[in-house]
């Protein structure tokens, strides 16, 4: 939601959720103080309906949350299977690349920290970012695992709070302050 707010004034954002309702998304947006009236919500898992919305809206940014919940009715395989994830990702990338639409595909991770389901997703996208953190701590690390356009040698540190994630500009201070004398 914070990313959606950052593109305010640059065009429409299409936020597609296969898991959360419009009410849940609205509550989060209100809590975070999101003030971008150009965010369009689509609660949908059928990729054909998602594709139609992308073509109709021609947004600046598309967020799919999550790719493992989407399905193509043309395939008989289960939602989240290798063939479904491959087809969904392929369709979204084809449409969005043709129209120069920035796209964020959110994927589930397993308890081991790997992208859930088939690793095919990692091979199809330009960049893979992991947002890591412990459940009971407020700090999060954003780590680039793959980047076709640049380095993956940098990380970002953030603090998760009631108003969303806030960048930690000097992570050393945080790490040192938590150590015993």
At 105-125, the pLDDT tens digits run 998 776 666 665 657 888 899
**Total structural domains in the chain?**
2
0.85 exceeded by the pTM?
yes
Query: What is the distance between the alpha carbons of residues 29 and 147, in angstroms, rounded to a whole number?
Result: 29
> Positive or negative CA dihedral for 7, 8, 11, 12?
positive
How far apart (Å, rounded) are the C-alpha atoms in residues 9 and 159? 26
Three-state DSSP class for residue 83: helix
- Claim to verify: residue 62 and residue 132 sit in the same structural domain: no
pLDDT digits (tens, 9 = 90+) for 138-169: 999 999 999 999 889 889 999 999 899 999 99
Q: Look up the domain containing 80 and give its range.
A: 2-125
DSSP assigned state of 69: G
Statement to judge: residues 118 and 133 lie in one domain: no
């Amino acid at each position: 939601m914070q990313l959606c707010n950052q593109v305010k004034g640059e065009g429409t954002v299409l936020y597609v959720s296969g898991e959360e309702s419009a009410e849940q998304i609205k509550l989060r947006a209100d809590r975070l103080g999101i003030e971008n009236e150009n965010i369009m919500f689509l609660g949908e898992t059928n990729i054909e309906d998602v594709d139609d919305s992308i073509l109709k809206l021609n947004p600046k940014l598309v967020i799919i949350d999550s790719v493992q919940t989407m399905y193509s009715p043309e395939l008989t395989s289960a939602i989240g299977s290798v063939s479904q994830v491959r087809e969904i990702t392929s369709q979204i990338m084809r449409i969005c690349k043709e129209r120069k639409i920035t796209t964020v595909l959110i994927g589930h991770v397993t308890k081991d920290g790997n992208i859930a389901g088939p690793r095919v997703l990692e091979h199809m996208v330009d960049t893979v970012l992991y947002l890591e953190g412990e459940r009971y701590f407020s700090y999060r690390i954003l780590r680039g695992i793959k980047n076709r356009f640049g380095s993956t040698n940098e990380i970002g540190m953030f603090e998760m709070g009631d108003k969303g994630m806030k960048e930690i500009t000097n992570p050393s201070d945080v790490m040192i302050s938590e150590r015993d004398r």
